[in-house]
Homo-oligomer: A and B are copies of this chain.
């Protein structure tokens, strides 16, 4: 019955472990974070971790799975909206910035720890990442085809240009800085759209 009450017991063990791992991986990196630290931060023992997760790497993979699912869902929602392509692209471009800033830990893990996944898991992540990239690229292409965007730049490169800046956020963005997530998102989406002006 203690299970239902507050404190550590409030959240199920697997979630607690995932939350602790996410924070620690982001702070110290995957290799620098020991299983011992994770279980201590989650308030459980090693046995419990290995009961729910097959390995330390599985924990990392779960972080990836969660991020990928979330971002794909959001992108799909914006891309499928009933709006002109400029608005759909701008909204999607701004949304990924806001979402990334709101989950900076996930973001810094994402690019920094990919090579710590085993080749097969890594491949799987890349595949899903690719699908995401293509969905975004299709918006660019659509705009270029319909003449609202300049065709000067190959659409894949446009996408990488924008995602580079998203990826970079975890390097420089600080919550205590002068810009709110929304402001940063508007500026970056604006830069993208301005670059695409014919």
- Residues on A facing B (Cβ under 8 Å): 28-29, 31-32, 111-112, 115-116, 150, 152-154, 157-158, 160-161, 163-169, 171-172, 179, 184, 187-188, 190-192, 194-197
Contacts and interface: CB of A to CB of B under 8 A. Distances in A.
B168 A115 contact: no
A171 B129 CA distance: 12
A65 B164 CA distance: 24
Contacts of A166: 164
How many copies of the polypeptide does the oligomer hold? 4
Contacts of A165: 160-161, 164-165
Contacts of A164: 164-169
B194 A116 contact: no
